[in-house]
Structure 1
Amino acid sequence: MPDALRLPFDEPASFFVVVFLAILVGPILARWVRLPAIVGLVLVGVAIGSGGAGLLQRDGTIELFGTAGLLYLMFLAGLDLDRESFARERKGALVFSLSTTVLPLVVTTLAGMALGLEFLAAALLASAFTSHTLVTYPTVQRFGLAETRPAVISLGGTLVSTIVALLVLAVVAAAHSGTLGPVFWLSFVGGIVLFFAAAFTGLPRLAQWFFTGLGTDRTVRYSFTLAIAFGAALLAEVLGIEPIVGAFVAGLALNRFVPGDALLMERIQFLGSSLLIPIFLVSTGMLIDPVELITDPEGLVLGAVLTVAAVGSKVLAVYPTRAVTKLTRSEIGMMVGLTTAQAAGALAAAIVALDIGLIGVTEVNAVVLVILLTCVLSGALTERFARSIPRPDRPTPKIGKTVVVPIADSNRGQQLVEVAAAVARRDSGVVVPLTVLNFDAAPDEVERLRDELTSEVESVALGSGADLRSMVRIDVTASAGMLHTAIESGASSILLGWKGYAARSSSYFGEDTDAIITLSPVPVLVCRPADLAPSRVVLDVIDRDFSPVARPTTQLCVEVGERIARHFGVPFVVLTDQHPDLVRQVVHEEVELVTDERDSLQSLPDRTVPGDIVIGGMPPTRAGLDRRASQLARALPGRTLLMVSGR
């Protein structure tokens, strides 16, 4: 018989055939019997492992891919976590973190002691069930619930419970070996402090430097992001912290650099959802040997008791959280599903206990049974309750989240994309350069324009730290195509090029600028770019900007000015003919304020120089650009003029 066909398969071709067939068949079989796809992958792992058909052995390769999948799962969870949502739910996350850590630890320890285990052995086993693995997080993502309150609170609880479980495991092992002392505590606490300091201060700076310098190619950015994810896991392990904590924290540190709707995020999710995470689930199933479990009655009893204790304590843990957060029954059910599953981490803790002589093989078999039962239960609960939770309403996006930039002229297009990237950078947003063609455009012309558009402006946006997604579309008119794109792409703002002519309807986009401003559902920035490098950002504030209806637009102008000034590394100055106390109501104290009693049409030419970026607000009571915009354009040659219309 050829070596490639000998069991267990270890040749590359036969190995990957079995792995990919398992990934393919598992979800299909699960749907046939009305089980979640995740459960199907775990059960297929049981079937093909050494305790089943023996097709694969859970050794080097599958274990490596499985561990990578677990780290990848936690990294994705960190990338998905909205920091603002987490800040809003910090009270609920704190309560849940305490309850989902303390209750399982106490209940499972008592259950183990009731079955005859010594205190240290029971406590170490309890540490395995104190934490949990987000096995069903892909289900939450599939239902579009990753930003909901129960998901955010569960992620907070996962981070805390994993660290506490690690602490208990380390303390019990040190106590058993007699090394529990000041040196142990100093190294453990010091490692945690050092890791979090490096992750939350060093990683963002490193990512910012890389994305605006070397990382102007998406493939390079992708490789860098994965290197950071696994590098953080390695650093955590070196410092005595669980690698999954490192991967999760790396996701948190990088999530503002990887927009959820960017191509980079799509690539990251694709590798995880199609390969690494399914292999992790299959490898989890391969831990289980059904024959050994059935022939060990004592292990079955212990496993059943520990399962009841672990699951019951996780259920109890959500009730203090419900009292604080007022979550619905379905939301609580989804939290239970998310935080119930145990996986390879629990087995790792059991093996540590076995190696130091605290427990025997029977207890390890019991842990394996807990892994099987909790994975099946977790998958069923999450799928059941996620179906009844409505998707959250999308909040009003920040102005830089998705900036649509209509482009007709390639030279000016690069200047506009640079300004759009300056607006988008703070939000790690996406710049969408857009060209609209008439219905008579040939298919090869569409492809040619798309390639030209991407090659000309991609490096500008990526080099500025923003992501880019070029679009060429066909529509009845250019303005209709732009507005349709803005709505379909969930635009947060539109940046229009403008020639600054007295005929205000003339724009680079070739359509009526006023109509676009009037019909746009999001803020519109109208830009007359200059050829000189930016030297300052000057905000023009006049009396009309302080009326009740205009104040939101004025505040938006301040935000846009601060973003652009920070992006180009130039000063931000406010020029006004109003009283400073009035202006300070909308302008931060650290911003330089220059008062000139003359009308800004006279003061701006004297107070600015070619290369300055001059920003002004458009009256919300007027449908489009007003006469003042054209006057400013004529009075300020060599300056970039940016008129802002709020919504």
Structure 2
Amino acid sequence: MLLQSPIIAFTILLLVIFTVPPIFEKIRLPGLVGLLIAGVVLGENGLNLLNSESETIKLLSEIGKVYLMFVAGLEIDLGQFRKTKNRSIGFGSLTFLVPLIAGVIVGRLFNFSWNTSVLIGSLLASHTLLAYPIVSRLGVVTNEAVTVTIGATIFTDTGALLVLAVCVGIHGGEFTALSLITLLIGLAIYSAVVLFGFDWAGKEFFRRSGDEQGNQFLFILLALFVASVGAQVIGVEKIVGAFLAGLAVNDVLGRSPVREKVEFIGSVLFIPCFFVDMGLLIDIPAFIKTLSSIWLAAAIVVALIGSKFIAAFLAKLLYRYNTAELLTMWSLSLPQVAATLAAALVAYKTVNPAGERLINEGVLNSVIVLMLVTSIIGPVITARFASALIVPQTDWAKDKLSTWWQGDSCNVDGQTYHPFTVVVPLYNPQTQRYLIEMAALLARHESGKIVPLAIARGHVQMDDPRLTTALEQSQQRLQGVLEISQEFGVEVSPAVRIDDDVALGICRTSREQNANLVVMGWSRNTGIRARLFGTVIDSVFWSSHCPVAVTRLLSSPTTIQRILVPVGDLTRQTVGALRFAQILADGNQAEVVLLHVGDRRTPPTQLDQFKSQLSDIAAQSKLQVNTAIQTVIGDDVARVIIHEAKNFDLVVLRSTRYRTAGGLAVSEVTTQVIKELTCSIVLLGEPHS
């Protein structure tokens, strides 16, 4: 009776989610594999601690299933899709239809009905961008083949879910041509309402709600579940509505802090519950029987791998891509996780009046094998061949990156003047001197000024003693700033602000001051609370109108003589970090070293071309700074950076975030480097990063 308690079941789930994925990731296996195995161990064929039929598991798994498809819709980059819309639709059609046909053939070979065979085909037709963080880290996302594959996801996932809806309807019985037409018309109207209606409603609500992130978060959750319920009302599976809702609010959320919260809740709680439930459904005797007669699982895996390759090969011929682009498109479209698992579970639980399932245990187990195989080999192949992709470069001569810090102009005595202003939020008296010195060095170089800023949290009554105390502390923090600034001969305009939100107070002040740069100290706020509610740094990165430099300075910036700038790709953000380092180096007569960690499989000619372009960009600066380029070949980018940084006083990094479907953990090079570096650090973030 104790084990039947919902609280006990929920506690066991939390314990599994907390402990199992990290263990499997340490042995280089996806965390979701560990959750599936945990489900098997804790299910009826194991310790019998969890029951898939319990109301607690049912509820959390259902939420996880719709959340998984919602996140899959959120992660599709609509901006990238619009850039290569026609080719994305072309490749999407190929990588949908070829696997669909292959799946139908497999189904018929194993004597499944036409309806089940088509459903098997639809399971193979979609794909999950599991290897997206790899191409992002390699800096090849802007390659057309990658962009086309990302855009094709919207077509394959939508098509697969629509086929699922029709197959489920047919399996329910009494399905005529008229009912099919009715379903398709209803689905078309419903899709239009969700995609356009939710997009409009979301933008209106976000515009009117301003900075109320709590209500915005609830609005997004409401949109998800209203769309899911609406799908069921018109006779379509709820995951179709969840996916469409993700697409609908994609533009609304952008890269806002609310999006981070929405994805965080799903990735740490609901989506893992879905994978545990998938493990609970695995019948070990049936699974062993399926694998003993391995032909069905082998046929499905071979059909998927072969058909996805044929689709990528046809796209290569059609759009004249090279071999590296062909193999990258193939490997990116291989992993079958989000839509495939969710649809397979729906089909397995769909029973007609005669008591027959749409797919049997053999197909479900084969899909799980397919997921395990493709989620491992897909990213491996991507890492092997994506490094050879050629990325179209910006015409740096036309892009005035030498003045990346340039802000809005103002009119002084009838003349246009561009003041360089650095806002420096102050909180910790122990680190504020180095912050002011860093800001003063930059401001002096640009003949500008600094604005030391102290934030006092607001209260309802302006005569509240707590506010009075906070204002006094703010004034004390600003007292020593003038003396430090006088040492550098720069103009200082100290400011005290009362604000309910520290991050917004910083961003509003920088906007009011027409700031060109915000220089902040490092925040040690980590853990669950920081991940859920975000840090001040996260919020400033998102809300700021200008670049933000977050610093961890171990010594005075005036003593910096060697600056290291890791360079992975040639983007505007990378060049911004280079310019920042050059300005700081010019003030100290320091040396800048640009470090590029190359992959062992990158052709030497491509590496030489990258170095040449990087050298040209560095030389475009009007500053007479000693800038060197260093190339190191290595598989572990973070390890190389950490090793090379031992001989430097400062490392300038970019703020970059990587996401992946299904809430799977992805190690970030920047995060690992920051944890282990023993020198000073500047983390430079562009607006809305």
Bin for the TM-score computed over the shorter chain: 0.5 to 0.7
CA distance in structure 1 between the aligned counterparts of 2:351 and 2:225, rounded to whole angstroms: 27
* Residue 377 to residue 196, structure 1, CA distance change in 2 (3 Å): same
CA drift at 1:373: 0.4
- The equivalent of 1:285 in structure 2 is 279
- The equivalent of 1:545 in structure 2 is none
Whether 2:57 is the aligned partner of 1:62: answer yes
TM-score using structure 2 length: 0.54
CA distance in structure 2 between the aligned counterparts of 1:144 and 1:228, rounded to whole angstroms: 35
CA distance in structure 2 between the aligned counterparts of 1:90 and 1:186, rounded to whole angstroms: 28
Report sequence identity in percent. Answer: 22
- The equivalent of 2:456 in structure 1 is 449
Structure 1 portions without partners, runs of 5+: 398-402, 407-432, 460-467, 496-518, 522-647
- The equivalent of 1:39 in structure 2 is 33
- The equivalent of 1:161 in structure 2 is 160
Whether 2:226 is the aligned partner of 1:219: answer no
CA distance in structure 1 between the aligned counterparts of 2:8 and 2:309, rounded to whole angstroms: 42
- The equivalent of 2:117 in structure 1 is 122
Q: Give the alignment partner of residue 350 of structure 2, picking from 332, 349, 352.
A: 352
Q: Show the 5 A alignment for 1:454-493.
A: 456=499, 469-471=504-506, 482=517, 484=519, 489=541, 493=545
- The equivalent of 1:272 in structure 2 is 266
- The equivalent of 1:246 in structure 2 is 241
CA distance in structure 2 between the aligned counterparts of 1:37 and 1:264, rounded to whole angstroms: 25
Q: Which amino acid aligns with 1:329?
A: L
CA contact (8 A) 1:347 1:364 kept: no
CA drift at 1:227: 0.5
* Residue 280 to residue 117, structure 1, CA distance change in 2 (3 Å): closer
CA contact (8 A) 1:314 1:339 kept: no
Deviations 1:371-404 (A, max 9, x none): 220221132134424545469999999xxxxx99
CA drift at 1:457: 7.8
CA drift at 1:235: 1.2
Q: Give the alignment partner of residue 184 of structure 2, picking from 185, 189, 203.
A: 189
CA distance in structure 2 between the aligned counterparts of 1:324 and 1:282, rounded to whole angstroms: 42
Whether 2:197 is the aligned partner of 1:202: answer yes
CA contact (8 A) 1:71 1:247 kept: yes
Q: Which moved more, 1:450-459 or 1:269-278?
A: 450-459
CA contact (8 A) 1:96 1:153 kept: yes
- The equivalent of 2:568 in structure 1 is none
TM-score using structure 1 length: 0.58
- The equivalent of 2:377 in structure 1 is 381
Q: Give the 3-state SS of the residue equivalent to 2:50 in structure 1.
A: coil
CA distance in structure 2 between the aligned counterparts of 1:249 and 1:187, rounded to whole angstroms: 19
- The equivalent of 2:251 in structure 1 is 256
Q: Give the 3-state SS of the residue equivalent to 1:58 in structure 2.
A: coil
* Residue 138 to residue 18, structure 1, CA distance change in 2 (3 Å): farther
CA contact (8 A) 1:121 1:353 kept: no
CA drift at 1:222: 0.8
Q: Show the 5 A alignment for 1:244-643.
A: 244-260=239-255, 262-295=256-289, 300-324=294-318, 326=321, 327-338=325-336, 342-352=340-350, 356=354, 364-387=360-383, 389=386, 436-437=425-426, 448-449=455-456, 456=499, 469-471=504-506, 482=517, 484=519, 489=541, 493-494=545-546
CA contact (8 A) 1:218 1:264 kept: yes
CA distance in structure 1 between the aligned counterparts of 2:368 and 2:500, rounded to whole angstroms: 51
Q: Which amino acid aligns with 2:350?
A: V
- The equivalent of 1:173 in structure 2 is 171
CA distance in structure 1 between the aligned counterparts of 2:74 and 2:191, rounded to whole angstroms: 16
CA distance in structure 2 between the aligned counterparts of 1:404 and 1:46, rounded to whole angstroms: 58
CA contact (8 A) 1:334 1:386 kept: yes
- The equivalent of 1:112 in structure 2 is 107
CA distance in structure 2 between the aligned counterparts of 1:81 and 1:373, rounded to whole angstroms: 25
CA distance in structure 1 between the aligned counterparts of 2:407 and 2:62, rounded to whole angstroms: 42
CA contact (8 A) 2:336 2:374 kept: yes
CA distance in structure 1 between the aligned counterparts of 2:407 and 2:456, rounded to whole angstroms: 15
* Residue 31 to residue 97, structure 1, CA distance change in 2 (3 Å): same
Q: Give the 3-state SS of the residue equivalent to 1:55 in structure 2.
A: coil
Whether 2:199 is the aligned partner of 1:236: answer no
CA distance in structure 1 between the aligned counterparts of 2:68 and 2:158, rounded to whole angstroms: 13
* Residue 359 to residue 245, structure 1, CA distance change in 2 (3 Å): closer
CA distance in structure 2 between the aligned counterparts of 1:324 and 1:490, rounded to whole angstroms: 40
CA contact (8 A) 1:191 1:239 kept: yes
CA drift at 1:194: 1.3
Q: Which amino acid aligns with 2:175?
A: T
CA contact (8 A) 1:446 1:472 kept: no
CA contact (8 A) 2:424 2:453 kept: no
